[in-house]
Amino acid sequence: MTTQTTRPSERSGTSPANSTDEPATKAARDWRGVADDDRDELPAKASLVLREHSRRLLGELLRPHRKAIWVLVAIVLVENAARLAVPYLVHLGIDNGIPPIVSGGSSATLIVIVAAVLVAALTQAYARQVFLMRTGRLGQTILLGLRRRVFDHFQRLSPSFHDKYTSGRVISRLTSDVDVIDEMLETGFDGLVTALLTLVGTAVLLLTLDVRLALIALVSFPVLLLITAWFRSRSAVVYRRTRETVALVIVHFVESMTGIRAVQAFRREPRNEEIFDQVNDRYRQANLDSFRLNAIFMPSIKLVGNVTIVAILVYGGWQAYHDQVTVGVLTAFLLYLRQFFEPLQDISQFYNTFQSASAALEKLSGVLAEEPDVPEPLRPATVGTTRGRVTLSGVEFSYVDGVPVLPGLDLDVPAGQTLALVGTTGAGKTTIAKLVARFYDPTGGRVLLDGTDLRDLAEDDLRRRVVMVTQENFLFTGTVADNIRFGRPEASYDEVVEAARVIGAHEFISALPDGYDTPVEKRGSRLSAGQRQLVAFARAFLADPAVLILDEATSSLDIPSERLVQQALRTILADRTAFVIAHRLSTVETADRVIVLEHGRIVEDGAPAGLIHAGGRYATLHTAWVDSLA
């Protein structure tokens, strides 16, 4: 097991203070160590599939709102038409409205035109507000739907998925990824639509105003496309590096602060500072690159815009001199060109948002494409009264192919029996518990509850009958009573108190500032590990299942509390089937029956008293334990 001989490379003595030997610099490079690449990174082929998924997801999200979207399109067309009409009307005002007045005639034409500008301005304003409101509502509705859907899907997926996927990634899917999509819906959508319509609308209007001037203006178009394309490809790279480097800064920062006790106790500060400077500087460099990219891009667009304006001005002036073009048209051109170049700068601003939103969409669609490993039965079995007999027949299980944890296990636990599972880490105890709770399905054989295969039971029926308590004993935000009631949400206050009383948790709960209504604070940080465990027990007791599984559930109790729980367990376990896994033999000894497991096989099976005298493995463990008490 140990391989120290294979690593003879002595790291010569170096410390930051007195030497600058090679290992120190090597350590400076290698401090992070090696790990699997981020599992969110996918090979090209898989990402193609995902893109397909995400396109489908986008379609599914938008389809119910098809009508609303068409209305929006109509509104946005009206709005843009009104907006783009204003410079055109200014041109009419200058060319047709002013000459009659100059020649001393009526101002009627002018007034009509000004009235038209007024109407256009008000129409535009109204349409704009309606558009903003409606896109806002649509976006939020889509977002709400997406949140609900992803959340529910995560909760439906099986524990094996969560084991692999890890809670951190679940959280970031539902928070930062959804937020990115929110940001896109909020700013990007409006910006993109307006920018595109302005671009197209302006081009059309310019062409109708004056073809030759318009063609000059449109010459700038390919140049702009080139610049934007360059920017997009560069920006993708730079943006990604910014994300990566900031992630390193955050990880290092959070770990230094959460582990500050170890940092200070082991004088880690100088080394940490060194590392932090590294990651901080890399983040700075990435930021600098991204700022500089913009520093090149923005003025480039401006330059193209200004040169175009000058070209129009000179050529237009020349044309106007020859009376080929009116002053009004020239003015309108200058006004339109302003509008034409502004949104281009916006598009580039939104680009990063779009990019991360589509990446987020891909990840979310990847999650939604996952199927639960432990599916609900299509036709659930009807269940009568439960007695709680659990049978494992020929059960095989492996986490990885070729490494069986259970090579074929037969075990019959009569209703009402308390069974203790004993064995070393990895002997398969927890696996059995998880199979009985149907966190996993066996790869071979069957697990039966009162003769019904667990796979045929509806989820609700199963969970009402089988409950597992682990050492995780997670507490949710809320009061102590809320947390106990989690076992049976419809339970009355008295029932909650009764459950706590039976477990022996009533004393300490009553001593809390607000008794049962005391908030447990974040993850129950207000309570000690032992107290959290007692609350978890009360919760399980309130749920009143026929089969109770305790996986290391007493491990974080100190001895006095454990003694309390053991007394309670005698009551609780009296009339139900129980699987008990415990390191501490004091808990095991209260069982009706003990099985000793080794490599997934039962090597000893019997009543605890009998096994102690049989002189086998259990007896040895027992002796060691008794001695440790002496």
Partner 1 sequence: MPSDQPVPVPSRSRNLWRLRPYLRPHIWRLAMMFGSSVIGVGVSLAIPLVSRSVIDGPVNRREIDLLVPLGLLALTLGVTEAGLIFIRRWVQSRAVSGLETALRHDLYVRLQALPMEFHTRWQSGQLLSRVTVDLSTIRRFMGFGLLFLVINILQLIVVTILLLNLYWPLGIVVLAAAVPIIWLSLRFEKRYLAISRRVQDQQGDLATHIEESALGFRVIKAFGRREHVKSQFDDGAVKLYGTSLEKVRLASRFWTFLEVIPNLTLVIVLLLGALAVGNGSVSLGTLVAFITLMLSLIWPVESLGFILAMAQEAMTSADRITEILDTESSIASGLTELENPRGHLRFENVSFRFRPDSPDLLRGIDLDLPPGTTLALVGATGAGKTTLTSLVPRLYDVTGGRVTIDGHDIRDLTLTSLRRAVASAFDDPTLFSMSVRENVTLGRPDATEADVQQALQIAQATFANDLPWGLDTRVGEQGMSLSGGQRQRLALARAVLARPAVLVLDDTLSALDVHTEALVEEALRRVLAGTTGIVVAHRASTVLLADLVALLEDGRITRVGTHHDLLATVPAYRRLLAADDGHEPPDAVRRDRDVAMSRAHDIESGSGDTEEREVHAR
By CB under 8 A, the residues from 430 to 459 that bind partner 1 are: 437, 439, 459
307 binds partner 1 (CB under 8 A): yes
CB of 76 to partner 1, least distance (A): 13
Stretch (H or E) spanning 595:
strand 593-598
138-146, 196-204, 208-216, 375-383 -> range binding partner 1 (CB under 8 A):
138-146
44-52, 163-171, 205-213, 224-232 -> range binding partner 1 (CB under 8 A):
163-171
Contact 276, 256 (CB under 8 A): yes
| Contact positions with partner 1 (CB under 8 A) in 377-436 | 399-400, 403, 424-427
The 9-28 contact track toward partner 1, x by CB under 8 A, reads xxxxxxxx--x----x--x-
| Contact positions with partner 1 (CB under 8 A) in 67-86 | 86
32 binds partner 1 (CB under 8 A): yes
**Residue 166 region by backbone torsions, left for phi larger than 0, else alpha for psi between -120 and 50, else beta:** left
284 binds partner 1 (CB under 8 A): yes
By CB under 8 A, name the one of 46, 237, 296, 574 that touches partner 1.
296
| Contact positions with partner 1 (CB under 8 A) in 515-544 | 523, 528-530, 536, 539, 543
Contact 588, 608 (CB under 8 A): yes
By CB under 8 A, name the one of 278, 355, 391, 586 that touches partner 1.
586
Of residues 625, 615, 618, 616, the one with CA closest to residue 593 = 618
Distance CA 276, CA 263 (A): 13
CB of 547 to partner 1, least distance (A): 11
| Contact positions with partner 1 (CB under 8 A) in 486-515 | 486-487, 489
216-224, 362-370, 383-391, 473-481 -> range binding partner 1 (CB under 8 A):
473-481
| Contact positions with partner 1 (CB under 8 A) in 179-208 | 179
CB of 213 to partner 1, least distance (A): 14
Partners of residue 393 on adjacent β-strands: 446
112 binds partner 1 (CB under 8 A): no
Contact 455, 441 (CB under 8 A): yes
Count Cα neighbours of 63 within 13 Å in the Cβ-side half-sphere. Answer: 6
By CB under 8 A, name the one of 52, 244, 476, 607 that touches partner 1.
476
Distance CA 288, CA 291 (A): 5
324 binds partner 1 (CB under 8 A): no
* Sheet strands (E) in 341-491: 390-400, 403-413, 418-423, 444-449, 452-453, 466-470
Q: Are strands 466-470 and 547-551 parallel, antiparallel or unpaired?
A: parallel
CB of 520 to partner 1, least distance (A): 11
219 binds partner 1 (CB under 8 A): no
Q: Write the CB contacts of 594 (distance below 8 Å, at least 6 apart in sequence).
A: 419, 420, 421, 422, 588, 604, 605, 606, 607, 608, 611, 618
Distance CA 259, CA 57 (A): 41
Q: Which amino acid is at 542?
A: L
Q: Which amino acid is at 287?
A: N
CB of 22 to partner 1, least distance (A): 12
CB of 224 to partner 1, least distance (A): 14
By CB under 8 A, name the one of 22, 163, 376, 507 that touches partner 1.
163
Contact 607, 593 (CB under 8 A): yes
238 binds partner 1 (CB under 8 A): no
Rank residues 47 and 528 by Cβ distance to partner 1 and give the closer one.
Answer: 528
